[in-house]
Amino acid sequence: MSGPIVITGASSGIGEACALAFAREGRSLVLGARRSERLNAVAKACMKAGAPEALALSLDVKSLASITAFARVANALNPSVLINNAGLAKGRDPVAQLQDHDITEMIDVNVTGFLRVARAFLPGMIERKGGHIVNLGSLAGREIYEGGAVYCATKYAVRAISQTLRLELSGTGIRVTEIAPGLVETEFSIVRTGDIEKAKLPYQGIDPLTAVDIADCVTWAVNRPAHINIGEIVLTPVAQASVSKVSRRPV
Ligand SMILES: NC(=O)c1ccc[n+]([C@@H]2O[C@H](COP(=O)([O-])OP(=O)(O)OC[C@H]3O[C@@H](n4cnc5c(N)ncnc54)[C@H](OP(=O)(O)O)[C@@H]3O)[C@@H](O)[C@H]2O)c1
């Protein structure tokens, strides 16, 4: 499969690292996110790193119109891989104190947007009888923690949708992989807390995963021979045994 690789949420973190890793392999890219300046800079870096083409397109997965416009351009290039990565957490309030805008933001981006992006690319892949969808799940899609009800629910949904897709796409030649990382140090925690100092706490006293570690898993899964489907990859920092059991060095 030689069509471009489509990556949502490519303006930072895991999406950006995936873009650069595929660029180094000489793959063409279609990148989407809301922050155009950041995304353009990533596309430029990808071209420098070896991508024959790196298209930066504005994408807000909360808007069906935006997804449709993004997919129209990307689908015209017959993409071979979709990295369905755009996602976020907002807040860590217990259910009794949940902010309404946090509930809707997480569900709109991580579930509704995620599903709509997959739906926008599936018909083309089915018609071409091949392709690969890589979904960014989480350890939080396998275990829950206090203050994580909505984020965990959305990532449990990513796992359920990934499993459903493998059933529905059986016989089409399309591969479906879910990557489920534990603590990865990106802008994720800054987006969640809205506070640069607080955002450092989850990574304190450990060697967290990096976005490059996740990109390694994604490129490995995508580069397996076409008859192999890597269903799920769960990875954590060595110090993290579960969502709530993290062994930290004294600081
Ligand atoms: N970091 C972790 O510990 C961790 C662990 C497990 C799973 N994950 C998952 O990994 C994925 C990537 O997160 P990350 O850690 O790389 O965080 P990040 O650095 O904050 O990146 C998130 C990306 O998602 C994009 N995004 C957010 N809302 C969007 C929207 N409405 N429309 C389009 N794009 C949107 C952001 O781009 P714009 O803001 O420019 O739109 C950004 O490029 C997420 O699905 C996250 O849930 C992260």
The residue whose C-alpha atom lies closest to atom 36 belonging to ligand 1 is 9
Name the region of 161 (left: φ>0; alpha: ψ -120 to 50; beta: rest): alpha
- On average, the pLDDT of the chain sits at 98
Whole-structure pTM over 0.85, yes or no?
yes
58 and 34 in contact (C-beta within 8 Å)?
A: yes
DSSP helix, strand, coil percent of the chain (3-state; round to 5): 45, 15, 35
Calculate how far, in angstroms, residue 88's C-alpha sits from the geometric centre of ligand 1. Answer: 5
Sheet containing 5-8, strands listed edge to edge, beginning at the edge strand earlier in sequence: 54-58, 29-33, 5-8, 81-84, 131-136, 174-181, 232-235
Span 2-22, average pLDDT: 98
Identify the CA nearest to 47 among candidates 77, 27, 33: 27
Catalytic-residue membership of 151: yes
Compute how many other C-beta atoms are within 10 angstroms of the C-beta atom of residue 141: 25
Per-residue pLDDT tens digits for 161-220: 999 999 999 999 999 999 999 999 999 999 999 999 999 999 999 999 999 999 999 999
Per-residue pLDDT tens digits for 74-112: 999 999 999 999 999 999 999 999 999 999 999 999 999
- The preferred substitution site among 38, 85, 134 for testing ligand 1, maximizing ligand atoms within 8 Å of CB, is 85
What per-residue confidence (pLDDT) applies to 177?
Answer: 99
* Percentage of the chain lying above the pLDDT 70 cut: 100
What per-residue confidence (pLDDT) applies to 2?
Answer: 81
Domains and CATH numbers, the chain: 5-235 (3.40.50.720)
Structure tokens that stand for 226 in this block: 């076409």
Residue 190 Cα: closest atom of ligand 1: 20
What per-residue confidence (pLDDT) applies to 246?
Answer: 98
pLDDT at 1 over 80: no
- E strand or H helix at 54: strand 54-58
